[in-house]
Amino acid sequence: MRNTRIPGRISRRPALFLALIFLGLPWARAQTYQLTDLGTLGGNFSQALSINDSGQVVGNANTSGGDEHAFLYSGGVMKDLGTLGGTNSLALAINDSGQIVGSASLANGDLHAFLYSNTMIDLGTLGGTDSAASDINNSGQIAGDADTTNEVTHAFLFSGGTMTDLNISAATNFSTTEAINDNGEIIGRVLSSDLSYALLDSNSVVSVLAYGGNIVPYSINDSGQIVGLLETSLPPGKEAFLYSDGAFVSTNLGTLGGVNSDGGTNTTAFYISNNGEILGDSAATNGGSHAFLYTNGKMVDLNSLIPTNSGLVLSFALGMNAAGQICGQGTNSLGQTHAFLLTPLYSLAIALSDTNVILTWPANWSGLILQTTTNLTPPATWTTDPTEPVVANGEYIVTNSRSDKEEFFRLSQ
């Protein structure tokens, strides 16, 4: 439920957002979030690693017996996904069909990649001992890494029931994948000469995102934009990067004001949305790690966008869906790590100029229609505003001519 302030009163209406035009000061909107602590599976630890457009969240959590199991959080309930016969499992990604991938232990202790769709399926290996699935796209293609018969870890693509060695490096070189987008583009790493390089596999074409030092890519969106971390040496540290259109747009997205013990930057970008919004963590001025949202060229501490008495300090922001919900992990007052879910609290913002009324709302809040009325007396008659919204700076914008009439606006599905 979302609160919308009307002059002189508070209105609480589900899926209904009203604003009153009056001759006075312009309205402004501040982005804030509702925080949900997802809890655990009976233990004292959990982390949320991925979220789909239905708001389903996956990750891993401690059981009451101390084991770590993959979970699915859906409809307010955390479900234990079990294992492949062993004691531990980890869910790393979920697509919009609800298919989940990760890794789980067998009875003998080996780790295998899995696909979960009502039941956990062992995806096998490339002939060796272990494997892990890191991501799945909306076509059901799975990226991961697995041991070969020589017990060397190689990146793989699992599609159509077959696990294929991507052969992105020499047979003796270690390679992994981190993510796959809906176009089938894959990012990963290969270890060569003690340096890690980001790799992009697009239609079997491999490119190297070399930077002269260790580079770890974590996320790729459907436009091919990549984010991750770069390791620096003087002073030692980590810097968040953005790579787009074949070049580094930024090799340092900034900080939240803190530094590491060596005086270096300590920032990592873990996720980039299709709108170009970036999530990660950065050292805060108090020395702790804080979750951030990077949007419109600015890095914002997510802790500043939730109530101060929320009960969690948000440490890592790791996934986002099209509705703007964010998942990750934070620390409670007992020092325990818990998975969290942030749900945006949006409102319809109105600004007045001498001649116009400007109405704005976030562009990632889709499927809504702007409606207007001049009388709220029941039964109010609402009509669709005829002005076509334009999109700029991550917002829908409607500009209407100003009149002397009292008008009410709402966003409705």
Q: How do residues 153-173 score in pLDDT, each as one tens digit?
A: 999 999 999 999 987 876 668
pLDDT for res 12: 24
Over the chain, what is the mean pLDDT?
A: 87
Q: How many helices (H) and strands (E) does the chain have?
A: 0, 38
The whole-number average pLDDT for the span 70-96 is 98
Reported as a single tens digit per residue, the pLDDT across 116-139 is: 999 999 999 999 999 999 999 999
32-345 placed in CATH 3.30.300.30:
no
Give the whole-angstrom CA distance, residue 278 versus residue 303.
16
pLDDT for res 194: 57
The fold of 3-29+349-412 is Immunoglobulin-like (2.60.40)
Give the whole-angstrom CA distance, residue 365 versus residue 75.
20
Residue 5 has pLDDT above 60, yes or no: no
Instruction: Categorize the per-residue pLDDT at 287 as very low, low, confident or very high, splitting at 50, 70 and 90.
Output: confident
155 touches 170 (CB < 8 A): no
- Residue 394's Cβ-count burial label (10 Å; 0-12, 13-18, 19+) is middle
Whose structure tokens read 């596999």? 201
Copy the structure tokens of residue 368: 């809504």
**What contacts 412, CB < 8 A, 6 or more positions away?**
15, 16, 368, 369, 371, 382
Give the whole-angstrom CA distance, residue 54 versus residue 69.
22
Of residues 81, 200, 227, 73, the one with CA closest to residue 143: 200
Query: Exposure pattern of 111-131 as b/e (b: 16+ CB <10 Å)?
Result: bbbbbbeeebeebebbebbbb
Whose structure tokens read 């699915």? 72
Q: Which residues pair with 232 in a beta bridge?
A: 237
Give φ, ψ of 304 to 5 degrees. Answer: -80, -5
Residue 386 has pLDDT above 50, yes or no: yes
Give φ, ψ of 217 to 5 degrees. Answer: -85, 140
Domain boundaries, the chain: 3-29+349-412, 32-345
Reported as a single tens digit per residue, the pLDDT across 170-210 is: 666 888 999 999 999 999 988 765 566 777 777 777 888 87
Give the whole-angstrom CA distance, residue 52 versus residue 276.
17
Residue 358 has pLDDT above 60, yes or no: yes
Give φ, ψ of 302 to 5 degrees. Answer: -65, -20
Reported as a single tens digit per residue, the pLDDT across 241-282 is: 999 988 999 999 999 998 887 777 899 999 999 999 999 999
Give the whole-angstrom CA distance, residue 228 versus residue 176.
15
Percent above pLDDT 90 for the chain: 62
Sheet containing 32-39: give its strands across.
32-39, 337-345, 326-332, 312-320
Evaluated on CA atoms 152, 153, 159, 162, the torsion sign reads positive
